[in-house]
Amino acid sequence: MSQLRVLVGCKRVIDYAVKVRVKPDKTGVVKEGVKHSMNPFDEIALEEAVRLKEKQVASEVIAVSCGPQACQETLRTALAMGADRALHVEVSGSEYEGLLPLGVAKILAALVKKEEANLVVLGKQAIDDDCNQTGQMLAALLDWPQATFASAVSVEGEGLAVTREVDGGLENVRLSLPAVVTADLRLNEPRYATLPNIMKSKKKPLAQMTPGDLGVDINPSLTVLSVEDPPVREAGSKVEDVDQLIAKLKDSGVF
């Protein structure tokens, strides 16, 4: 089969280890001064793409990120993990607040055509919005086959054989290329960006553009009305020993 040109989406999100806090004005969550990093599912997607390149199934891996200037840090990590080139689609301020999966899918569709990519690997969902929509919408816009929640990907003839993790178990599908694949947790364990590679990544090309350059309209079709904490759990009461516990359970009518 002809070599694949792989496009990988890398979203910059709040680091998974950080405790997220809602802003007092309920317009969103606190992002200032909070550690951000690449969406973990995107790391897995990128790792899979880099492995395809190492197996010489793919000829080039292009990392893409949509967002403010800080996304370039995420792209540098992607380059350090083994991507060849990076594309930063600049979207900032309130436009970025309103950027939803459909907008991202339209941007990626335009980039796919521009870069003549024939495989797109995305994380199955972002850990900040948990939408799980971009991959599916992109496949629909491009009219390409899709395999989501991939836990194993291999080349089979002129297409791909993918194992999907679904509620009922594992599903094996075969897709022809070009295709969209979204990565699930058990697909692989991403490598850590090594220090020499981080240094080398500074020399790899990183191109910047806007959605307008690609002719894409990312006007949101949804408006966020408010963001609130989940309701506070009722305070429990601590008991000093088992007898007290049993007494409390009896009072509450459990037995």
Partner 1 sequence: MATLLKTTDTQSAIEELGALLGDRLSTSPAVCEHHATGETYHAPRPPDAVVFPETTEEVAEIVRICAAHGVPMIPYGVGTSVEGNVCALEGGVTLDMGRMNQVLRVSQEDLDVTVQAGVTRKQLNTHLRDTGLFFPIDPGADATLGGMTATRASGTNAVRYGTLKENVLGLTVVLPDGQIIKTGGRARKSAAGYDLTRLFVGSEGTLGVMTEITLKLYGIPEAISAAVCSFPSLEAAVNTVILTIQSGIPIARVELLDDIQMDACNKFSKLDYAPKDTLFFEFHGTERGVAEQVEQVREIVQEFGGSDFRWSTKPEERNALWQARHDVYYACLALQPGKKGWATDVCVPISRLAECLIETKEELDASPLLAPIVGPRRRRQFPRLLPHRPGRSGRDGRGQAPQRTHDRPRTRHGRDQHGRARHRLRQAGVPGGRARRRGRRPHAHAQADGRSPQPDESRESGRRLTAGLCSRLWRASNASFKE
CA 29 to chain centroid, in Å, comes to 19
Cα(177)–Cα(244) distance, rounded to whole angstroms?
65
Interaction mask 80-109, partner 1, x per CB under 8 A = x-----------------------------
Cβ nearer to partner 1, comparing 171 with 189: 189
* Structure-derived torsion over alpha carbons of residues 2, 61, 188, 190, reported in degrees to the nearest 10: 160
Interaction mask 180-209, partner 1, x per CB under 8 A = --------xxxxxxxxxxxx----------
Cβ nearer to partner 1, comparing 17 with 254: 17
Q: Does the CA dihedral 231-126-179-219 come out positive or negative?
A: positive
Cβ nearer to partner 1, comparing 31 with 191: 191
Minimum Å gap between C-beta 156 and partner 1 is 21
* Structure-derived torsion over alpha carbons of residues 189, 195, 196, 200, reported in degrees to the nearest 10: 90
Cβ nearer to partner 1, comparing 38 with 216: 38
Cβ nearer to partner 1, comparing 51 with 85: 51
Rg (CA), the chain: 22
How does DSSP assign 189-243, residue by residue?
A: -PPPPPHHHHHHHTTS-EEEE-TGGGT-----S-------PPPPPPPP---SSHH
Which residues, 22 to 51, sit near partner 1 by CB under 8 A? 35, 37-38
144, 109 in Cβ contact below 8 A? no
Minimum Å gap between C-beta 35 and partner 1 is 8
Minimum Å gap between C-beta 82 and partner 1 is 12
Residue indicated by tokens 């220090």: 195
- Tell me which H or E stretch contains 42: helix 40-54
Cβ nearer to partner 1, comparing 37 with 132: 37
Cβ nearer to partner 1, comparing 77 with 134: 77
Minimum Å gap between C-beta 215 and partner 1 is 33
17 binds partner 1 (CB under 8 A): yes
Minimum Å gap between C-beta 197 and partner 1 is 7
Exactly one of 25, 116, 167, 241 binds partner 1 (CB under 8 A); that residue is 241
The runs of H, that is alpha helices, within 88-209 are 93-97, 101-115, 134-142, 195-201
Interface residues with partner 1 (CB under 8 A) are 15, 17, 35, 37-38, 73, 77, 80, 188-199, 238, 240-241
